[in-house]
Amino acid sequence: MQLMRKKPSWPVKSPWKTHFPCLAILCGILSAIFPFGPGTRVQAEEKSSLIEEVWTWGILGAEQKPYVSIMRLFRSPQGPLVRGTLQQSGQPPLPLTNPIDRDASFRASLEIDGDPAPMTVFFEGSVDHDLMEGQMILQRSDQNTSLPWKAFRLPDFPLNGSWKWELSTSSETTLKATLEIEQSTNILKGKLIFEERTIPLEAMVFKEGMLTFTSRGEAKAVYHSRGFWMEGRLMGSVTSESFGTDRPFRWNASR
């Protein structure tokens, strides 16, 4: 039975204040490098026969800031899920245990050797075409904490086209521009159109939902942008030596 399609959206209220300790632990987990034991890597000959699905997976943090990772699900040609991983950009993948999607539902778990005690993370949710959403239960010793999560299937060329781009430089100041991106199998190029000025984007890279590029401003200033695709939107930040690399400004883009 198929679930009715609904427009995906993040919850209005952030769970940050209620679940800060567990969320901080999880973010640390996703940022850390974990050693792998025997059997956690997909063998090349086995992986080649599997069908790979790539999803952008995320939870909300402080001030509605998303924490995003890549979820890979490997499916046999007959249909059932065989294995999966959860991976933050630039870090090794963490293996998901016994991923199952059946009757429009999804379940998996993640075993982590933590200090002072190991932790198990359970993922439970519903599947609606290109959207998964549900609850993530963090279980450590006798404590259970639940957090909402969402995952969106990554399209082949999600960046191609025109975007409404906004940069917040302060609580009261927002710069608006048009972001034009051309994306295909062998092409990735873009530009920002701000008032009557066109700014080419350089060194553009889009991999597994993560977008990076640089742009040049006045007085030879160089701006480094990093963002990600999630829920049909782009969200990221920009840094520059001209205003301090420790002071990133957040930007977002929508259709």
CATH code, domain with 198:
2.40.160.90
pLDDT value at 16 more than 70? no
Q: Which residues make beta-bridge pairs with 233?
A: 230
Q: What is the pLDDT of residue 78?
A: 85
* Per-residue DSSP letter, 220: G
Nearest to 201 by CA among 230, 159, 169, 170: 159
Q: What is the mean pLDDT of residues 115-129?
A: 86
Domain count, the chain: 2
Same domain, yes or no, for 70 and 104?
yes
Range from 46-55, 82-91, 129-138 carrying the lowest mean pLDDT: 46-55
- List the CATH number of the domain containing 33: 2.40.128
Q: Specify whether the CB–CB gap between 145 and 19 falls below 8 A.
A: yes
The pLDDT of residue 28:
52
21 and 103, same domain (yes or no):
yes
Note whether 81 and 99 are within 8 A (CB): yes
Q: Is residue 9 part of a domain?
A: no
Instruction: Look at 11 and 144; give whichever has higher pLDDT.
Output: 144
Predicted pLDDT of residue 71: 92
pLDDT for position 23: 47
pLDDT at 248 over 80: yes
Q: By three-state DSSP, how is residue 28 classified?
A: helix
In tens, the pLDDT along 165-180 reads 999 887 678 889 999 9
pLDDT per residue over 17-28, tens digit each? 334 444 444 555
Question: Do 67 and 174 have their domain in common?
Answer: no
Q: Answer with the one of 125, 153, 181 that is the final residue of a domain.
A: 153
Which residue range forms the structural domain that includes residue 22? Answer: 16-153
Q: How far is the C-alpha of 190 from the C-alpha of 59, rounded, in Å?
A: 29
Model confidence pLDDT, tens digit, residues 138-159: 887 778 888 899 999 988 899 9
Task: Establish if 6 belongs to a structural domain.
Answer: no
